[in-house]
């Protein structure tokens, strides 16, 4: 039994090394003082972190990604909150089909989805690049918004809503004064998870960007094609810190157990 526990502990350790090892290597190489990305670093310097803010295209594309993610997040919320409420509150014919349609963007491979967006949103409807990015990112955020809010609603006691209506409150007033305040933590968690999905997206964005318009992850790929310095490693470290902070906030708001209930 003791040997079995040791074997399990060794296996767990190797899994963590496999998962976290590349992140640790990237973090260390981001402090390389030379002009070439190498591990282990021969010098120690913060100059590549400073260089991030000296490259104008990083600042421009960062702003683009923030705007697209926030705007898409807002529209996804306007669609996703009522959809999650309807799917959680009511039983109706075709409910499973509707649920499957909303979840489908995370089930379809990103390259296939991105090419479909390129073919129809850009090719057929000839929408501007910003509008195409906005629509595409809204669609990929919807499943996360709906699933997280639905998980939050699964713990909501709808008898409270019925009691409010029985006391004379309208359905709309009840929704805004009773339902929404009770699931606000779920809504905040959904916003953060959807934002991360949109901001870090590559497979959709690479099809939707065009001349003069790019997102931050796509600009990182372009930079790697032309330069081999530790700037991208420095950016990756900052993105890891931001992602870890967001996931910590999600855990504080809801707990990871919420996402395993459905």
**pLDDT at position 34 over 80:** no
Give the residue from 84, 120, 78, 85 showing the smallest Cα distance to 103: 84
Computed on alpha carbons and rounded to an integer, the radius of gyration of the chain in Å comes to: 22
Entry pTM: 0.83
CATH for 55-258? 1.10.3720.10
Mean pLDDT value of segment 206-235: 85
Report pLDDT for 40. Answer: 76
240 token code pair: 């890891």
Can you give the residue ranges of every domain in the chain? 55-258
Report pLDDT for 254. Answer: 63
216 token code pair: 């931050």
Report pLDDT for 227. Answer: 81
Residue 261's pLDDT band (cuts 50, 70, 90): very low
User: What residues pair up with 44 in beta bridges, in sequence order?
Assistant: 32
**pLDDT at position 179 over 50:** yes
**pLDDT at position 6 over 90:** no
The mean pLDDT of the chain is 84
**pLDDT at position 66 over 90:** yes
Report pLDDT for 195. Answer: 92
- How far is 189 from 253, CA to CA, in rounded Å? 7
**pLDDT at position 94 over 80:** yes
């Amino acid at each position: 039994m003791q040997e079995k526990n040791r074997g399990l502990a060794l296996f767990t350790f190797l899994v963590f090394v496999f998962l976290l090892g590349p992140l640790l290597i990237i973090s260390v190489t981001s402090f390389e003082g030379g002009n070439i990305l190498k591990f282990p670093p021969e010098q120690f310097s913060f100059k590549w972190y400073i260089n991030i803010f000296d490259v104008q295209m990083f600042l421009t594309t960062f702003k683009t990604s923030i705007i697209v993610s926030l705007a898409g997040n807002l529209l996804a919320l306007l669609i996703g909150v009522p959809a999650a409420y309807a799917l959680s509150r009511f039983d109706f014919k075709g409910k499973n089909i509707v649920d499957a349609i909303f979840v489908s963007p995370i089930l379809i491979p990103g390259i296939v989805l991105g090419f479909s967006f390129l073919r129809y949103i850009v090719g057929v409807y000839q929408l501007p690049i910003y509008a195409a990015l906005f629509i595409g990112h809204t669609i990929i955020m919807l499943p996360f918004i709906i699933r997280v809010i639905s998980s939050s609603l699964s713990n909501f006691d709808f008898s409270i809503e019925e009691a409010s209506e029985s006391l004379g409150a309208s359905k709309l007033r009840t929704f805004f004064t009773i339902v929404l305040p009770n699931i606000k933590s779920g809504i905040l968690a959904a916003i953060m998870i959807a934002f991360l999905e949109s901001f870090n997206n590559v497979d959709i964005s690479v099809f939707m960007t065009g001349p003069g318009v790019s997102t931050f992850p796509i600009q990182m790929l372009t930079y790697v094609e032309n330069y081999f310095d530790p700037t991208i490693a420095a950016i990756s470290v900052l993105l890891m810190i931001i992602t870890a902070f967001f996931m910590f906030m999600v855990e504080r708001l809801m707990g990871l157990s919420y996402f395993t209930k459905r």
